[in-house]
Structure 1
Amino acid sequence: MHSIATPPPLSPSEPPSPAETIDKIIQLLGQLLPSTLSIISFASRWQILRTKLASLKSLLSEISYFQHWSDNPLLHSLLPNILSTVYRTQTLCHQCCDPSFNPGKLLMQSDLDMAAGWLSKQIHDLDLLLRSGVLHQSTAIILPHPTANASKEDLSFFIKDLFTRLQIGGLEFKRKALDSLIQLLSEDEKCASVVAKEGNVRCLIQLLDLNSHDSLRELAVHIVSMLVSMSDYSRKCLFEEGVLGPLLRIIECSSMPVKEKAAMVVEFITADTDNAWAISAYGGVSILIELCKSGSGTAQSHSIGAIKNVSTVEEIRIALAEEGAVPALVQLLVTGTPSTQEKAANCIAILASSGEYFRGLLLKEKALQSLLQLLHESSNSDTLEHVLRAIYSLSDSDVSHQILLGSTMFILEIGELIKHGNIMLQHVSASLLAKLSISDDNKRAIGGCMGSLVKLMESSKPDGLQEVATNALVSLLSVKSNRKDLVRDEKCVMRLILMLDPKNEVTSKKFPVAVGAAIMSGGSQTCRKTLVAAGAYGHLRILAEKEVVGAKKALQKLSGNRLKSIFTRTWRE
């Protein structure tokens, strides 16, 4: 008994030229096709083989019409294999026509099926060559890279040729094609969209399979990481062709450098909220969490970034809790790289704002204490913003509130961020200051940020900043020494008066009115006289007539008994 594992190789003393090989194949097919018509045994299988042989002859004839077909290096290896297959099929034909030959029914069926499989693969490769358009001109084994001013046609041809080699060529052809693709993308990021449009990204994804050669898989991961980071279009194409599943398998089973690149691709893909849901469909939540625990610093950063992206999806948040994401996140706040800490803080902020359930899990893992430590140690403004947002959400619980109120260092840091942070840090810090019921001692300790809060009241963006700045300032002004300090600052007083001016439409009048009322809440004559001297009286009178919230009451405090009788009736109403 015998079997066929691969087409038997040809071994002539001197390899024939491509033209000689294709002529020989067509000649053999011309003889073989009529011979198959007379075969009685295994008729259905020979009918299939006959159809494939006819397709093969048609494709070879079509290829031979191209002027430079014989220059294509892919045909140099493909044609000998086709010739070998045709020889083997001819042998099978003779055996089936010979009544005296009896190799066994099952063995012959197997041999015929194998021949049909070889023919199918080779027909596919020839058809791919024809459809790719690479036979329209001569191509060298080492492709010349398109120059910076290359035409779209040249670039398109180059890319199609590369992807044809990836699908037809042997290991070395594939490796060279991938190297050329990496060089092309490295030289011009704008090529990423063209690669996704003109190339076959599904072919790249197939190379990510764990059964692919290691060197090809590593190069393919590298190319995919370049494509997703360079172009929205190529990122969308890769996702739609199913790249996420193979990438997650790579994260499970590959070497750490390959895992890092795969995790980076997953992070980029899940940044699109329309793609985030697919993580759970591929079982990716547990894979990413495990990488957070055991990966390198770079791998942790990308995996935590992907977790942060998908944490916006409610169903995936539940899976994150069930798979133990919270302890891993809190641990990375302390042990992670700066990039990892930033993303972990961002993710915790998202989870903490999603409801009481996650706030309970985070507090159980002492997330608040880790956030306070990171707030003290980090100098990265983005990290600090995420930390403050997480603290803000966690502060809703009584336990958190008490911890924050008992941390004078935290209160002082908030005051410093209001004075020296960027606009987003000032916004979140002012929100915390307005929300917390801090002690009078601490209010005095951070009184120096009141001038910054007054400036923030003039900022129309971001939304809500004027209100939280006002509320934080009103809170600080409940302390007598802070009220005196503020009215001594001429710039602050003038800013408040300008905001009270009815002609100034930048600031809602209820905010400076509230601050004015807070300044006069202690009944200080010095504060009242300072505001009157600066022109607050006239503005408040107009605002009171316009029934601005709080204006009448503020005017009453500012006027004292002198105007009490005039406004008695209005106040009663």
Structure 2
Amino acid sequence: MGEEGREEAARAGKDEQGSLAAALETIRALVSDSLSASLFPFKWQLIRDRLNRLHAGLDDVTVNEASDGGERRDAFLGLLQAVVETAGEARELVPRSQGRHYRDGKLRLRSDLDVVAAALGAHAARLDEIYTSGALTRARALVVSRPGAGASRDDVRFYVRDLFARLRVGAAEMRREATAALNEVLHDDEKCVRVVVSDVADGIGVLVWLLECPDACVQEEALEAVSVIAGFGAYRADLVVGGVIAPVIRVLDAGARHAAKERAARLLCKLTENSDNAWAIAAHGGVTALLNVCTDHGASGGELVCAACRVLRNLVGVDEIKKYMVAEASAVPVLVSLSQGAADEAAQILAMELLATIASGDSSVREVVLQEGAVESMVRVLDRGSLRSSKAREGALRAIDALCFSWPGSIGRLVGAGFLDRVLFFLRNGDSTLQHCALKAAHRLCHVSEDTKKAMGDAGFMPELVSFLHAAKSLEAREMAAEALCAMVSVHRNRKRFVQEDRNVAQILQLLRPDDEKLSPAKRFLLSTLMHLSDSTSGRRKIMSSEHIGNLERLAETNVTDAKKIVKKLGGSKLRNIFHGIWSRQKA
């Protein structure tokens, strides 16, 4: 380059530096002035966020000599001029936002603020493109070392702020490295979470902006960083106010990578714990996005579908959102399909639980759930030939319990779907956990109606309950089985069926061995069962002919009220003579 060329380059450099200084000063002045604006404070906050982002990017600019040229210089100078012009337009809106010189109406002012915010966002994106091209580099590209364990908050603050500076103005590779480093410190040190939220200027805003970064790696790391912050309940409100919900839902609804969608769904699950922020999720189309994930469960994969179901479960805690999901978003058929056809069992179990939750507390919603075939789909999971695991079957039994047993109107549909046969099968053949779930279902069914008790008697439940009483080790299980048996025997048709088998009555009397200091609840239910049986001649005859009748007499002698009543019904002194004869033979 000749002398003349060097002088021209020097003049151009001075012009560039002058334009840069003017742009920075204009940005600083506008940020200061905008603090006095009282109307539309959130829109002004957005404008300030974008001004700060521009200022951070421009403040560290240096020219790359290797790429120096007229085209680059013109592009950069054009950007600086555009920034100054947009800042000038925004500055004119400050008095109008103070309420003193208010002329053109709120709608016009809001529109003007939106235009300014959009223009500043475009300028920031253009600055990023110029950095990425290599035409600009950072003047102070120092690498700050990560503070060690136990470092002071000041050291952490310095390191985290440096990471955010790189996130704001760095090229693609620098952003990837910065987001990865940020996640490391966020996972390792809670102080970093506090620093990001409280000490970094627009820290949340930068992360929200990165959620829609076209670089998939940066987007996923940003989602992870926000998810770590959301793990602390104290900071969730900061994330929501910072605008995190809309871009996260767009990640779910757009063509993002699968890993990004999974992280987005897990983040929404944290944000909606205890139904917090449910309205914000619904307002941004979150219900539809989540149901779309469940509809396409084959392509979505188990982890993503499970996370989506957990978010939906959190949302149905709000009645209005639940009604919207049922009436307008068609959530019930989607979940019924998922409960039938999901390849992932965890997703299937969550779908069944969610259906039961949706149906609770509202008879009209429950009717919709039943009409869509939810009960039948759950019973099919219990089929003997099904390849579903015990865990899936336990989930189906729990969901049926929650959906049907508290509402007698659904029992007919349940029995019609073959539920009794499935429960009886697992009562006989299930593993310990599944057997306990089946026993609980039988216990609940016995308290629904007389017709249900008759149907259970016809299906063969009573002998199985007696066998269960002998085999069960758990006090709770024995009590449930005894109570269910007592409820069934209270029906005349079942009593007749029960006494036809000599072994049934004998086994109950055998269980009444007076070997406990205190009469257990299970034995009290067994005595009540014998009380029902003693109402008929055949029942009394079976009791009196049993070799274990002595157990009943011993209980009567210890002043157990029900035992004394049964003995009296059996014949009083005549029976006592029989007892004495039996005992005499046993002693001999």
Task: Tell me, in whole angstroms, the C-alpha distance in 1 between the residues paired with 2:83 and 2:415.
Answer: 83
Match of 1:488 among 495, 502, 507: 507
Contact 2:512 2:552 survives alignment (8 Å): no
Match of 1:144 in 2: 145
1:351-390 correspondence runs (5 A): 351-376=358-383, 377=386, 383-390=392-399
Match of 2:276 in 1: 274
How far residue 409 of structure 1 moved from its aligned partner, in angstroms, is 3.4
Per-residue Cα deviation, 1:498-524 (whole angstroms, up to 9, x for no partner) = 67x5x46x7498645434535656224
Task: Tell me, in whole angstroms, the C-alpha distance in 2 between the residues paired with 1:318 and 1:450.
Answer: 46
Aligned length: 455
Match of 1:471 in 2: 483
How far residue 263 of structure 1 moved from its aligned partner, in angstroms, is 1.6
Match of 2:426 in 1: 413
Match of 1:324 in 2: 330
How far residue 533 of structure 1 moved from its aligned partner, in angstroms, is 2.8
Quick one: structure 1 residues 355 and 380, their matched pair in 2 at CA, closer, same or farther if it must change by over 3 Å? farther
* SS in structure 2 of the partner of residue 517 of structure 1: helix
Contact 2:486 2:529 survives alignment (8 Å): yes
Task: Tell me, in whole angstroms, the C-alpha distance in 2 between the residues paired with 1:278 and 1:482.
Answer: 64
Task: Tell me, in whole angstroms, the C-alpha distance in 1 between the residues paired with 2:388 and 2:509.
Answer: 32
How far residue 359 of structure 1 moved from its aligned partner, in angstroms, is 3.2
Task: Tell me, in whole angstroms, the C-alpha distance in 2 between the residues paired with 1:210 and 1:304.
Answer: 24
Quick one: structure 1 residues 80 and 402, their matched pair in 2 at CA, closer, same or farther if it must change by over 3 Å? closer
Quick one: structure 1 residues 47 and 310, their matched pair in 2 at CA, closer, same or farther if it must change by over 3 Å? closer
Quick one: structure 1 residues 184 and 346, their matched pair in 2 at CA, closer, same or farther if it must change by over 3 Å? same
Letter in 1 for 2:367: G
Task: Tell me, in whole angstroms, the C-alpha distance in 2 between the residues paired with 1:108 and 1:525.
Answer: 100
Task: Tell me, in whole angstroms, the C-alpha distance in 2 between the residues paired with 1:536 and 1:156.
Answer: 82
Task: Tell me, in whole angstroms, the C-alpha distance in 1 between the residues paired with 2:431 and 2:533.
Answer: 20
Letter in 2 for 1:389: R
Match of 2:163 in 1: 162
How far residue 282 of structure 1 moved from its aligned partner, in angstroms, is 2.8
How far residue 525 of structure 1 moved from its aligned partner, in angstroms, is 4.1
Match of 1:338 among 337, 345, 348: 345
How far residue 556 of structure 1 moved from its aligned partner, in angstroms, is 1.8
Quick one: structure 1 residues 211 and 79, their matched pair in 2 at CA, closer, same or farther if it must change by over 3 Å? closer
Letter in 2 for 1:514: S
Residue 435 of structure 2 is aligned to residue 430 of structure 1: no
Task: Tell me, in whole angstroms, the C-alpha distance in 1 between the residues paired with 2:82 and 2:199.
Answer: 44
Match of 1:517 in 2: 531
Task: Tell me, in whole angstroms, the C-alpha distance in 2 between the residues paired with 1:316 and 1:241.
Answer: 23
Quick one: structure 1 residues 169 and 325, their matched pair in 2 at CA, closer, same or farther if it must change by over 3 Å? same
* SS in structure 2 of the partner of residue 421 of structure 1: helix
Letter in 1 for 2:270: F
Task: Tell me, in whole angstroms, the C-alpha distance in 2 between the residues paired with 1:256 and 1:211.
Answer: 12
Per-residue Cα deviation, 1:311-362 (whole angstroms, up to 9, x for no partner) = 2322111111121111100111122111210110111111233333233323
Match of 1:183 in 2: 184
Match of 1:555 in 2: 564
Task: Tell me, in whole angstroms, the C-alpha distance in 1 between the residues paired with 2:509 and 2:350.
Answer: 42
Of residues 302-311 and 415-424 in structure 1, the stretch that sits farther from structure 2 once superposed is 415-424
Task: Tell me, in whole angstroms, the C-alpha distance in 2 between the residues paired with 1:201 and 1:247.
Answer: 17
Contact 1:447 1:476 survives alignment (8 Å): no
Of residues 362-371 and 233-242 in structure 1, the stretch that sits farther from structure 2 once superposed is 233-242
Quick one: structure 1 residues 182 and 422, their matched pair in 2 at CA, closer, same or farther if it must change by over 3 Å? farther
Task: Tell me, in whole angstroms, the C-alpha distance in 2 between the residues paired with 1:403 and 1:305.
Answer: 31
Residue 354 of structure 2 is aligned to residue 347 of structure 1: yes
Task: Tell me, in whole angstroms, the C-alpha distance in 2 between the residues paired with 1:46 and 1:208.
Answer: 22
Letter in 2 for 1:281: A
Letter in 2 for 1:451: F
Task: Tell me, in whole angstroms, the C-alpha distance in 2 between the residues paired with 1:178 and 1:556.
Answer: 79
Contact 1:419 1:452 survives alignment (8 Å): no
* SS in structure 2 of the partner of residue 312 of structure 1: coil
TM-score normalised according to structure 1 size: 0.63
Quick one: structure 1 residues 325 and 414, their matched pair in 2 at CA, closer, same or farther if it must change by over 3 Å? farther
Match of 1:219 in 2: 221
* SS in structure 2 of the partner of residue 373 of structure 1: helix
TM-score normalised according to structure 2 size: 0.61
Per-residue Cα deviation, 1:155-211 (whole angstroms, up to 9, x for no partner) = 454334434543465655433221102233456789767765666662354225547
Of residues 259-268 and 438-447 in structure 1, the stretch that sits farther from structure 2 once superposed is 438-447
Letter in 1 for 2:276: D
Contact 1:267 1:309 survives alignment (8 Å): yes
Quick one: structure 1 residues 492 and 291, their matched pair in 2 at CA, closer, same or farther if it must change by over 3 Å? same
Letter in 2 for 1:307: L
Task: Tell me, in whole angstroms, the C-alpha distance in 1 between the residues paired with 2:545 and 2:170.
Answer: 88
Quick one: structure 1 residues 520 and 361, their matched pair in 2 at CA, closer, same or farther if it must change by over 3 Å? same
Residue 454 of structure 2 is aligned to residue 447 of structure 1: no
Per-residue Cα deviation, 1:103-155 (whole angstroms, up to 9, x for no partner) = xxx9999487289899x99xx9xxxxxxxxxxxxxx97444334455555544
Quick one: structure 1 residues 112 and 306, their matched pair in 2 at CA, closer, same or farther if it must change by over 3 Å? closer
Of residues 311-320 and 411-420 in structure 1, the stretch that sits farther from structure 2 once superposed is 411-420
How far residue 383 of structure 1 moved from its aligned partner, in angstroms, is 3.8
Residue 314 of structure 2 is aligned to residue 312 of structure 1: no
Once the two structures are aligned, what percentage of the paired residues are identical?
Answer: 21
Task: Tell me, in whole angstroms, the C-alpha distance in 2 between the residues paired with 1:233 and 1:439.
Answer: 53
Residue 252 of structure 2 is aligned to residue 251 of structure 1: yes
Match of 1:533 among 543, 550, 555: 550
Contact 2:306 2:350 survives alignment (8 Å): yes
Contact 2:397 2:437 survives alignment (8 Å): no
Quick one: structure 1 residues 382 and 524, their matched pair in 2 at CA, closer, same or farther if it must change by over 3 Å? farther
How far residue 471 of structure 1 moved from its aligned partner, in angstroms, is 3.4
Match of 2:208 in 1: 206
Task: Tell me, in whole angstroms, the C-alpha distance in 1 between the residues paired with 2:351 and 2:472.
Answer: 32
Quick one: structure 1 residues 172 and 509, their matched pair in 2 at CA, closer, same or farther if it must change by over 3 Å? same
Contact 2:266 2:307 survives alignment (8 Å): yes
Contact 1:293 1:300 survives alignment (8 Å): no
* SS in structure 2 of the partner of residue 272 of structure 1: helix
Of residues 164-173 and 217-226 in structure 1, the stretch that sits farther from structure 2 once superposed is 164-173
Quick one: structure 1 residues 564 and 331, their matched pair in 2 at CA, closer, same or farther if it must change by over 3 Å? farther
Match of 1:292 in 2: 294
Task: Tell me, in whole angstroms, the C-alpha distance in 2 between the residues paired with 1:398 and 1:46.
Answer: 70
How far residue 564 of structure 1 moved from its aligned partner, in angstroms, is 11
Task: Tell me, in whole angstroms, the C-alpha distance in 2 between the residues paired with 1:391 and 1:370.
Answer: 10
Contact 1:156 1:198 survives alignment (8 Å): yes
Match of 2:88 among 101, 105, 113: 113
Quick one: structure 1 residues 79 and 361, their matched pair in 2 at CA, closer, same or farther if it must change by over 3 Å? closer
How far residue 283 of structure 1 moved from its aligned partner, in angstroms, is 3.0
Match of 1:101 in 2: none
Letter in 2 for 1:313: V
Residue 322 of structure 2 is aligned to residue 301 of structure 1: no
* SS in structure 1 of the partner of residue 475 of structure 2: coil
How far residue 416 of structure 1 moved from its aligned partner, in angstroms, is 4.3
How far residue 491 of structure 1 moved from its aligned partner, in angstroms, is 8.1
How far residue 449 of structure 1 moved from its aligned partner, in angstroms, is 6.7
